Homo-oligomer: A and B are copies of this chain.
């Protein structure tokens, strides 16, 4: 379930970049400091009938935006991805989901760094799972959350 206050951000996240929208990526759940995303097999099926490696990567990459949205003030800060890696463990033959959460303490500590330095790094390890709960991929991303520049505007409203 997506909490009402996160509905706009959840929609924005999966529609604002055309190619992400075309993967069919969905936000399954969002509440304070927790999110769950789903990548459907459909348009992401490769020539072997399994989920394309790049789509699995995108599921991990967008998770940085998802955790940012449920933990930080989206009108003050902006997330960017610095680097990421993914390890493919098993073929994904179903839709794939990922869950993520962050503690209040960690958010508070990052908020302090944002106030002091204007930026903070965030490393997150994720398990991407198929419908049976098998971990198909391991993802590690490093994002930077930054104070938004004055006059900064997002490209467009979500569809």
Contacts and interface: CB of A to CB of B under 8 A. Distances in A.
A61 B55 contact: no
A118 interface: no
Contacts of A16: 46-47
Interface string A82-94: 1111111000000
A52 B17 contact: yes
A106 B27 CA distance: 44
A155 interface: yes
A20 B52 contact: yes
B47 A54 contact: no
A81 interface: yes
A108 interface: no
A101 interface: no
Given A19-B23, A55-B19, A86 B84 contact: yes
Chain A interface size, under 10 / 10 to 19 / 20 to 34 / 35 or more: 35 or more
Contacts of A81: 53, 88
Given A17-B45, A57-B54, A85 B84 contact: yes
A46 B44 CA distance: 19
Contacts of A105: none
A156 interface: yes
A154 interface: yes
Contacts of A57: 54, 57-58, 61, 84
